[in-house]
Amino acid sequence: MRRSRGFRSNTRRILYIGRSVRRTITKTLRTFDIGDKVLIKHDASVQKGMPHPRFYGRAGNIVEKRGIAYRVAIKDGNKDKSVIARPEHIRKM
C-alpha cells in the first residue's frame, strides 16, 4: 500500500499545540495594513485559513485583504508566490 501524503503529513512538531498555549480572541481580531512585513507562524488550534506547512517560518508582505484573511507575497527562490492566511497564522515583524 502506498504511503499517504496529505496536507498535514510530517508536521508533528510544526503543528504542535503546547499545553500552556491558549487561543485568544485578539489573535483573530488582529488587523494588518497593506505593505506590512509579516511572518507566517501556524496556530494549530485553528484549522481554517492555515497556509501549507511548507511556508512555515517564511516572511513576506501583505498585498491585500480577502474577507477575513490576508494575501501575503513571499519569495521562494527566484519565484514570487502568494499565500492566503488568516490573522491567527501571521505575525507582524
Domain residue limits, the chain: 31-92
Task: Provide the 10 A C-beta neighbour count for residue 31.
Answer: 8
Greater pLDDT, 70 or 13 = 70
pLDDT of residue 19: 67
Asked if residues 49 and 85 have their Cβ atoms less than 8 Å apart, the reply is: yes
Q: Which residues pair with 40 in a beta bridge?
A: 90
Query: What pLDDT band is residue 21 in, cutting at 50, 70 and 90?
Result: low
CATH 3.60.9.10 assigned to domain 31-92? The reply is no
Q: Tell me the pTM.
A: 0.85
* 36-86 pLDDT, tens digit each: 999 999 888 888 999 999 999 999 999 999 999 999 999 999 999 999 999
For residue 3, is pLDDT > 90? no
